[in-house]
Amino acid sequence: MSEDILRQTLARHFADEWLDVAMNDYTAYTELMNDTCSMDNIQLAEKLRTDWENLAEQVTDLIEEHISETASLFVGQWMKGQGVLPFDLIARAARAKYEEVSRYKEDYA
């Protein structure tokens, strides 16, 4: 498997898992749809990436404080540095969902 295909596969997996969580949590779903409504895909992807990086920093700080520095490094390695691709995929999926819901509302309003 080429490095590019592997990178895309990992990004797709991350995006799918992220969306599974967000779409099944009322607060996360509502925030995602509100952000999707008010931002273009580039802005949304950047916001999602920044939010993820902030979450990763908080998680690694807590792990370092309550478990160990080594555990924090392991988790940080996994969470940080996702790049922009998975968040671009999430933004595109959120936009498609937003448009689907908007069409449904128009059809049944």
Categorize the per-residue pLDDT at 108 as very low, low, confident or very high, splitting at 50, 70 and 90: confident
Domain of residue 18, residue span: 3-107
Domain count within the chain = 1
CA-to-CA separations, 49 to 77, 78, 102, in angstroms, rounded: 16, 14, 25
pTM of the model: 0.86
Per residue in 34-93, pLDDT tens? 999 999 999 999 999 999 999 999 999 999 999 999 999 999 988 887 888 999 999 999
